[in-house]
Amino acid sequence: MRLMPTRSLRAYFDHNAGPLMHKWLHYFPIYQQHLRPFRGRRSTVLEIGVSHGGSLKMWRYWLGRRAHVVGIDIEPRVAGLAEPGIDIMVGDQSDPAFLAELARRHGPFDVVIDDGGHIPAHQIASIEALWPHVRPGGIYLVEDLHSNYWPEMGGRRGAPDTFIAWLGARLDDLHAFHSREDDFQPNDWTSTIAGIHLYDSVAVLDKCAPRPRPEHRKTGFPVFDDVYGRSHDEMLDEHHRRQIAAVGRPLRRLGRLVRHPVVTTRRVLARRR
């Protein structure tokens, strides 16, 4: 059995003697938290943005030799950085046809890390094309979201066409099962986003298999006859009534045993004969 590396991602970065990479240091705890479930597993990891190839090697080292790492970039020279366990395709992250071919060749993906051009429109185009090709249980991580506030990248605070604004719409979608508005209903994002994690300049979306409408239930016995102007009879639904009846039967038996121990014991023994 091959042992997993004991060094953290930050330690790998700090002692990097391989190809160049550059990272904001507060990203490393985020990486470790969300990538840890994939360590030692057979998984496919896509990184958008290759640069000099340093991070591709880091992911493969830390996740283990069972990980298949794929990198994409618009720079043709990066094709020469491919090696066993690391594949590279040259193309534009905003090109739907290229992303479709990428998914056909290498998908589905367990992890997608968007460290590409940092242009908000490209971040949106990539996730909309690639999300259907992320496996349930996988994650989609977009970093360097501060670019959404830089005018030279097509961003600014409050702009309606940034990835930050797009993410706000997905936060709405996540809660659409609870909508009371006719024009706000569940969609594919609602059923396949398990959670959204936000950090300084990083967003992580958890993918799930299509989830059903959430179910709300009550259990236990009402303490008061009414609460907030509603009687307990108004608050009890059919499932709650059945739950109370089910847990009440053993309690009633226990009460009989305490009050009439001899008679109750005889009845129990008679049933077992």
Q: Which residues are catalytic?
A: 118
Q: What angle do CA 94, 211, 170 make, to 5 degrees?
A: 40
Q: What one-letter code names the amino acid at 187?
A: N
Return d(Cα 90, Cα 50) in angstroms, integer. 10
Distance from chain centroid for Cα 191: 12
Of residues 200, 204, 203, the one with CA closest to residue 24:
200
Q: Which residues touch 147 (CB under 8 Å, ≥6 apart)? A: 118, 119, 120, 153, 155
Answer whether 95's CB lies under 8 Å from 122's CB: no
Ranges of H-type helices in 132-259: 163-174, 188-192, 232-235, 238-259
Answer whether 13's CB lies under 8 Å from 32's CB: no
Structure tokens at 163: 């990835």
Cα-based distances in Å from 99 to 88, 108, 130, 256: 13, 12, 7, 70
Return d(Cα 237, Cα 240) in angstroms, integer. 5
Distance from chain centroid for Cα 164: 17
